[in-house]
Amino acid sequence: MIQDFTGKTAVLTGAGSGFGLECARIGAARGMNLVLVDVQQDALDKAQAEMEAAGAQVLARKVDVADAAQMEQLAADVKARFGAPHFVFNNAGVGAGGLVWENTVADWEWVLGVDVWGVIHGVRLFTPMMLEAAAADPGWRGHITNTASMAGLLTPPNMGIYNAAKAAVVSLTETLYQDLNLVTDQIGASLLCPYFVPTGITSSERNRPNAPSNDQLTKSQLIGQAMSNKAVSSGKITAAEVAHKVFAAISDNQFYVFSHPKALGNVKSRMENIVSITNPADPFLERPEIGEKLRAQLRAP
C-alpha cells in the first residue's frame, strides 16, 4: 500500500501524450519528481514546461525505448539525478494493423521494438535499482506499471501484430508480479489494459522512421487503420480518467487495471473456450455487426 507520493520519483515513457502525460500531471500535482521520456521532441518539451510550471522537478529525455543503449543511458541519468525511481510507467506504445501475414518485417520490428522491447528495457534496467533501494531501506516502497491493452487478452482479427505485442506485455507483467513476490514485499506491479480510449496511439506512425505512405499499405491495413481511428476517437472514457485508476491501483496494490471493465465479458468467453477446448469464438460476439462489416469489406473484390 502506497499512500504518500510527495518527493517520490517516477519514470514515465510515452510521457508526451495520452496515459503517460496524464499520469505525469497527477504526479506533478502530488509533488513528485518526474522523468519524462518520449521520442517526439516537441511533445516532450511541452510536457516538461507544463510539469515544471506545476512545480515538479523534471528530467526530460528524448529516447527511443526500443533502443537498448538509449535506455541504458536513460537509466544512468535517472540514477545520477534522482537515485532509484519509486515508480516506473512503461507506457510508450504504437499500433499497426492488417491481416497478420501482410505485415512486413519492418512493421513487426517497429511494433515489437516499442511495445515489447520498450517494456523489457524498462523492467530490466529499473527493477534492479529499485530492489537495491528496497534492500537498503525497509521502509522504501516502489511500483512498476506496464501498459498493455485489451488486445493482449483478446484476439480481434486484422490487428494481429498489435495483439501479439500486447499479449507479450501481459505475460511479462504477470510474471514480473510473481517474480517480485518471490524476492520482496516492497515493490508491486500493475498491468494496465485499456480498451478504446482517445490517445495518440492511432497517429503513432508520426514517429516511425521511414513510415510507409498510404499507397504502400494493403487493403486490410487501410481498413484496420480506419476502424481503429473511429473506435479510439469515439471512446467515452478519457486518458485522464484512466490515469486516476492507475494511481488508485498503485495505492491499493491492485494488479489488473481496466479502462472498460464491461469488456471483460469477451475475455471470459475466450478463457472458457480455452478451458473447454472449443475453437475460438467470434471476438465481436457482443457487436456482431463489426465482424460482419469487416468480413464484407475484406471479401469485396
Q: What are the φ and ψ backbone dihedral angles of 200, each rounded to 5 degrees?
A: -90, 10
Alpha helices, H only, the chain = 18-29, 41-53, 68-82, 105-112, 118-136, 160-183, 219-233, 239-252, 264-275, 288-299
Q: b or e along 183-197 (b: 16 or more beta carbons within 10 Å of the residue's beta carbon)?
A: ebebbbbbbbbbbbb
Residues, the chain: 301
Residues paired with residue 90 on neighbouring β-strands, in sequence order: 146
Q: Torsions phi, psi of 142, nearest 5?
A: -145, 170
Cα 170 to Cα 164: distance, rounded to the nearest angstrom: 10
Place of cell 475475455: 267
Would you call 195 a catalytic residue per the annotation? no
From the list 162, 177, 195, 256, the catalytic residue is 162
All three cell numbers of 185: 514485499
Cell triple for residue 120? 523489457
| Paired strand residues for 34 | 10, 58
As annotated, the active-site residues are 162
